[in-house]
Chain A
């Protein structure tokens, strides 16, 4: 509890926490939606916000507010799949490369370097075009996770490299601890903060990339996400026709989401890194 109290002293953490709670509530509200998000023309079209439809309705005849709850939920699902699966890859690659060293390290780091250099956005576009017919939340999440681990694996590797030189590694090895047990039991606590902050960053990246792919029409447009909502709004010229309630809903929701996720990651990693914590207290 003391940790939480300390964290809430950072205005960024407080803000991020509040926004993410609201986002989560929105996502959960989708389960109580009176409308099916895949059906069109369930409400009158293009209504301004009113007491019946608090965020108005769109040109597909859908309620913007309830559509947004599904969009938030689905965007979160994609980013969670991407974040968690790519964490598994990043941890495995980073720990094996850092601990084994030698040829294994060089090969693994070469793969991750290649992924960093290649313009991933274009590769994603190619892949998405090819699997467009089979595209859904899970396929998209997995696609993002296959490409989103390279930088984080490098970070984890550098931590493991420094841990390997520490005294306790030798003690553990001499007392007969197996490699896997050593890495899992002894190294995980040191890498946990890093894994957590990269998880949040990866989630934010996944939401952003999903939106970009959706604007290009490369995802299944019948599944509401923040990206597909924006795509429909642009396709129906919501900007020119001044249907601001429609275009601004996904824009502002995603804006808050990106800032909140980033601030959460920054405030927690600053808190966990004692050097910056001292700097802040010293101010």
Chain B
């Protein structure tokens, strides 16, 4: 790239995109900050009520102390402006507070234990569903009139509208309870020690198969449908008709001309769907009791652990927006049309 072109790229594309990135994170985290403060429920009093409900009897004096401590821990002392500044100050130092149901474990520790499970599940299934969904959808879009293409289309029409929860739950009912091919819950057998041996890896794979299958199949149905439609449109383009008349083989047209051109919008689509994919993974984990961030979230909800939920939300806002930024910045490398304008 020439000097001038690099400058226009930085000015027109990079800087606005970076500003947007920072702003979205700021808006998202500000929303997270205000939700507990604008809603009628006081998290401190709820905590106290829970402690009372568990039967702990305390003298009135020490109760005041507890309320005070909890207020500090939730970052609820002082005016909203003060709280907001303290909140960001802690956040920048990577401090998300402590968990309440596994007191006093820091929220960041709990999340970092669970995160590898979720990332493993999410990245594998996203890659599989994106690659295979697009290839199969592309070929099906090129041969629209064939029977197998129509059959696949009908299957996608049934799977596509199902929410993550229902689809995962149905697979669980069929393959784990009815046919008993796969374990019902967990990420590995009870008592199995994490180690780099084949039996352990096999055990983990067996446990992650159904959650992975749910996410991959749902994702594939979406990519298949969109790609099929995109390819049908590219098919009608002059250059494809011309190549066909010129005697270029079908295989070459599909792989070199059609799928390649239809793939570009799918990259943007992938970036836009990160948030949804992540939520989907969390929900699927809850269905299968898979020990990732989703399960952590579930336990946090059951125990009313507000700090932990907030921590998970904040980290996922960071994670998702950063992942989108990376895809967006890589996009010009893949599409020469964007690069040179």
Contacts and interface: CB of A to CB of B under 8 A. Distances in A.
Nearest to B233: A275
Contacts of A114: 23-24, 27-28
Nearest to A204: B161
Contacts of B164: 212
Given A114-B27, A114-B28, A134-B40, A123 B286 contact: no
Given A114-B28, A123-B313, A216-B286, 8 more contacts: A122-B312, A122-B313, A123-B32, A126-B310, A132-B41, A212-B165, A212-B283, A254-B166
A25 interface: no
A211 B278 contact: no
A19 B145 CA distance: 28
Given A119-B320, A121-B279, A121-B283, A126 B163 contact: no
B304 A121 contact: no
Interface string B1-40: 0000000000000000000100110011001100110011
Interface in A125-150: 125-127, 129-134
B132 to A, nearest CB: 22
A261 interface: yes
Interface of B: 20, 23-24, 27-28, 31-32, 35-36, 39-41, 43, 145, 157-158, 160-166, 169-170, 173, 177, 232, 272, 274-275, 278-279, 282-283, 286, 297-298, 301-302, 304, 306, 309-310, 312-313, 316-317, 320-321, 324
B163 A117 contact: no
Given A117-B324, A121-B283, A125-B309, A255 B173 contact: no
A113 B24 contact: yes
B321 A215 contact: no
Nearest to A261: B161
A130 B35 contact: yes
Contacts of B36: 126, 130
A129, A212, A217 — most chain B CB neighbours (10 Å): A129
Interface residues of A, number: 45
Interface centre among B161, B177, B312, by most chain A C-beta atoms within 10 angstroms, is: B161
B166 A117 contact: no
Interface in A250-265: 251, 254-255, 258-259, 261-263
A68 interface: no
Interface of A: 12, 110-111, 113-114, 116-123, 125-127, 129-134, 204-205, 208-209, 211-212, 215-218, 239, 247, 251, 254-255, 258-259, 261-263, 266, 279, 283
26 contacts: A114-B23, A114-B24, A114-B27, A117-B24, A117-B321, A119-B275, A119-B278, A119-B317, A120-B279, A122-B279, A122-B316, A123-B313, A208-B165, A211-B166, A212-B163, A212-B165, A216-B298, A218-B301, A251-B166, A251-B169, A251-B173, A254-B166, A258-B161, A258-B163, A259-B162, A263-B157
Contacts of A209: 163
A133 B279 CA distance: 25
Contacts of B32: 123, 126
B331 to A, nearest CB: 16
